[in-house]
Amino acid sequence: MAASLQFSNSIRTSHCGNQFWRNSLLIERNQQIKFSSSISSISGLVCTRIENDCSRDRGSRGFKISCEKRNAGEAATNGSPGGNGELTCVMKFGGSSVASAERMREVAELIRSFPEERPVIVLSAMGKTTNKLLQAGEKAVSCGVIHASEIEELDFIKDLHYRTVDELGVDKSIIAVHLEELEQLLKGIAMMKELTPRTKDYIVSFGECMSTRIFAAYLNKIGVKARQYDAFEIGIITTDEFTNADILEATYPALAKRLHGDWMKEPAIPIVTGFLGKGWKTCAVTTLGRGGSDLTATTIGKALGLREIQVWKDVDGVLTCDPNIYPSAMPVPFLTFDEAAELAYFGAQVLHPQSMRPAREGDIPVRVKNSYNPKAPGTLITKCRDMSEAVLTSIVLKRNVTMLDIVSTRMLGQFGFLAKVFEIFEDLGISVDVVATSEVSISLTLDPSKLWSRELIQQELDHVVEELEKIAVVNLLQHRSIISLIGNVQRSSLILEKAFNVLRTHGVNVQMISQGASKVNISLIVNDSEAEQVVRSLHSTFFERGSLSELGEQFTSNGSVIPTPTVSAMN
Ligand SMILES: Nc1ncnc2c1ncn2[C@@H]1O[C@H](COP(=O)(O)OP(=O)(O)O)[C@@H](O)[C@H]1O
Ligand SMILES: N[C@@H](CC(=O)OP(=O)(O)O)C(=O)O
């Protein structure tokens, strides 16, 4: 039996009070809902979906909570995928979640703790395996063939994976063949003295190929039927841009056909390699850029039209700031796809920059959860959310950015200047992050992730400057940081006032400022050396309870604004 319940602001206030609203933030799918006595007739239902009600005017805070009546016997037993229905959700576990045998056991238990789910599991490589594989590849270039088998990182990878199969009690042969091939590959690189982007992608693919095989074998061992899949064999088709490939449209029907078809023939939890794809022209293994398993998860979610995409990390959701900069950063309970995309694009490592696109296109909620602390509510990312009280959502820092000041050598009134500048960037294949313009000048920052290695950065930059100098006076400024203030740009004046107060206190001059048309991000460019301190102070100002603005407004711990009752703060 399915029921659809609509809770509006007024119902919430009159029937449940603020308590329910708070509780509603904590409701998760498949959780028993405990309603207050006034609506107890609907108790006993299980929540299956929570949606923001976007259909109404700004200011209303409706939540549509879909529920199902489930009898105790309806949930599957023995940890097997629940019921006979279709696949329900994606659960992606990152490297930190599957870093050891112990972590894999915990993740298996976590999956079993949702017996009514029929999930597709996406896994990253164990722990820091991807970094180790890349380091091994780089060492192989210059170590000589006879020393390729002795590369320290190869030993580390062998030891980690053999120890894990041993501790989990699964058959060693499932990964032995990969580890042998990896050693051969390193010898090949040593022989050629060359590591191309294509070979890099092939090398790192061993990480995901092994973690998924180990985990699938373990699930089968404990009685949970599972089937391992390599993404490049089941239809994740990409561009041939090695190390940073894009997913192509053909992926969606191909994935759906394969995963759905297999499931219908014989249900077994699919365990899919994250991060990997197959180049459409080369047919070689490609990767989706660092952290790309998030994108694999949302791609599968969209392809199968699943109800929810869960990305399980080692933090309590998307936080108000990078915890490495501000250790007591707090989880953000709700985000829109736009906010999350902007946050990821401007450097928050927690989500892959492109991962929100399939979720947004398929309108599938994404939940960011902590595999080390599953009870924490995490962050729910949906198409829209109530912004009426939101000010700032999160502060993101992107370091080591290059900035260019480009001033036209021609007089005012010249048209086509901007077009010429961007044509140069297009021809050189360099992507631009933040831009501020006037008619005859333009300031912009370059995306460092697109500039592959150190030597190339300088070469490419020299070339850009050379080309631009044909039409303009160019000033190249390196070691800059972008501080992105993600939030409600409807309140941009308030945000800017607070932010500039902080900057003034630290004696920091902003070198460029840009408010995106997307209306969720204000970007400030400062020197690298000043950036972290500024971010910490901004965080205290916007997110710490009791911080008082000169406008007489106080911020709550989630960055929203509450009016202060007296006027004394204004003086
Ligand atoms: N705003 C942020 N919110 C949460 N985590 C962040 C943020 N900015 C940076 N991080 C970092 O991102 C890490 C999680 O991302 P990642 O390492 O890719 O996870 P996983 O490997 O589990 O997929 C966290 O451990 C944290 O250090
Ligand atoms: N293993 C890949 C892909 C990935 O998504 O990893 P993680 O989920 O641990 O960020 C990487 O390290 O980039």
pLDDT in tens, 503-553: 999 999 999 998 866 678 899 999 999 999 999 999 999 998 544 333 334
Handedness of CA 542, 544, 550, 553 (dihedral sign): positive
CB–CB of 464/404 below 8 Å?
yes
Residue nearest to atom 17 of ligand 1 (CA): 350
Q: Does the pLDDT of residue 44 top 50, yes or no?
A: no
The pLDDT confidence band at residue 23, using thresholds 50, 70 and 90, is very low
Rounded Cα gap, residues 31 and 65, in angstroms: 12
Q: Which residues line ligand 2 (CB under 6 A)?
A: 94-95, 124-125, 130, 207, 274-275, 290-293
Q: Does the pLDDT of residue 17 top 60, yes or no?
A: no
Residue nearest to atom 9 of ligand 1 (CA): 322
Q: Which pLDDT value is given to residue 463?
A: 85
SS3 for 89? strand
Each residue's pLDDT tens digit, 323-346: 999 999 999 999 999 999 999 988
Rounded Cα gap, residues 487 and 342, in angstroms: 10
Q: Which atom of ligand 1 is nearest to the CA of 294?
A: 23
Q: Does the pLDDT of residue 173 top 80, yes or no?
A: yes
Q: Which pLDDT value is given to residue 148?
A: 96
Rounded Cα gap, residues 120 and 380, in angstroms: 19
Q: Which atom of ligand 2 is nearest to the CA of 125?
A: 1
Q: Does the pLDDT of residue 482 top 90, yes or no?
A: yes
In terms of pLDDT, which residue wins out, 24 or 136?
136
Of 5-9, 80-84, 192-196, 210-214, which gets the smallest average pLDDT? 5-9
Q: Which pLDDT value is given to residue 9?
A: 34
| Amino acid (one-letter) located at 253 | P
Q: Which pLDDT value is given to residue 546?
A: 46
Ligand number with the minimum distance to the CA of 292? 2
Ligand number with the minimum distance to the CA of 125? 2
The pLDDT confidence band at residue 309, using thresholds 50, 70 and 90, is very high
Q: Which pLDDT value is given to residue 516?
A: 66
Per-residue H/E/C for 423-462: HHHHHHCCCEEEEEECCCEEEEEECHHHCCCHHHHHHHHH
Q: Does the pLDDT of residue 62 top 60, yes or no?
A: no
Residue listed under structure tokens 């995901």? 208
Q: Which pLDDT value is given to residue 299?
A: 98
Of 24-38, 273-287, 358-372, 467-481, which gets the smallest average pLDDT? 24-38
Q: Which pLDDT value is given to residue 417?
A: 81
Average of per-residue pLDDT values in the chain: 82
Pocket test for ligand 1, best of 350, 354, 368, 397 (most atoms within 8 A of CB): 350
Q: Which atom of ligand 1 is nearest to the CA of 319?
A: 3
Pairing of strands 379-382, 237-238: unpaired
Predicted structure pTM score: 0.82
Of 17-31, 200-214, 479-493, which gets the smallest average pLDDT? 17-31
Contacts 24+ apart (CB under 8 A), 149-155: 149/183, 149/186, 149/187, 151/186, 154/182, 154/183, 154/186
Pocket test for ligand 2, best of 107, 130, 210 (most atoms within 8 A of CB): 130
The pLDDT confidence band at residue 139, using thresholds 50, 70 and 90, is very high
298 vs 18, 204, 221, 365, CA distance in Å? Answer: 33, 21, 28, 10
Mean pLDDT of 202-212: 98
Mean pLDDT of 109-127: 96
Ligand number with the minimum distance to the CA of 297? 2
Q: Which pLDDT value is given to residue 456?
A: 55
Q: Which pLDDT value is given to residue 489?
A: 78
Distance 222 CA to ligand 1 centre (A): 30
Assess whether the C-beta atom of 365 lies below 6 angstroms from ligand 1. Answer: no
Q: Which pLDDT value is given to residue 411?
A: 57
Q: Which atom of ligand 1 is nearest to the CA of 394?
A: 1
Q: Which pLDDT value is given to residue 560?
A: 54
Distance 544 CA to ligand 2 centre (A): 32
Assess whether the C-beta atom of 348 lies below 6 angstroms from ligand 1. Answer: yes
Pairing of strands 269-273, 237-238: unpaired
Q: Does the pLDDT of residue 452 top 70, yes or no?
A: no
Interior/surface letters 363-400, b for 16+ CB within 10 angstroms, e for the rest: ebbbbbbbbeeeeebbbbbbeebbbeebbbbbbbbbee
Handedness of CA 260, 246, 210, 175 (dihedral sign): positive
Ligand number with the minimum distance to the CA of 539? 1
The pLDDT confidence band at residue 412, using thresholds 50, 70 and 90, is low
Q: Which pLDDT value is given to residue 37?
A: 28
Of 14-23, 115-124, 166-175, which gets the smallest average pLDDT? 14-23
Assess whether the C-beta atom of 535 lies below 6 angstroms from ligand 1. Answer: no
Q: Which pLDDT value is given to residue 83?
A: 54
Stretch (H or E) spanning 226 = strand 226-229
Q: Does the pLDDT of residue 502 top 70, yes or no?
A: yes
The pLDDT confidence band at residue 462, using thresholds 50, 70 and 90, is confident
Assess whether the C-beta atom of 394 lies below 6 angstroms from ligand 1. Answer: yes
Q: Tell me which DSSP letter residue 509 carries.
A: P
> What residues pair up with 481 in beta bridges, in sequence order?
526
Residue nearest to atom 9 of ligand 2 (CA): 95
Q: Which pLDDT value is given to residue 491?
A: 87
The pLDDT confidence band at residue 31, using thresholds 50, 70 and 90, is very low
The pLDDT confidence band at residue 413, using thresholds 50, 70 and 90, is low
The string of DSSP codes covering 395-421 is: EEEEEEEEEEEEEESSPTT--SHHHHH
Q: Does the pLDDT of residue 274 top 90, yes or no?
A: yes
Distance 90 CA to ligand 1 centre (A): 19
Residue listed under structure tokens 């915890």? 323
Mean pLDDT of 72-87: 53
Residue nearest to atom 2 of ligand 2 (CA): 291
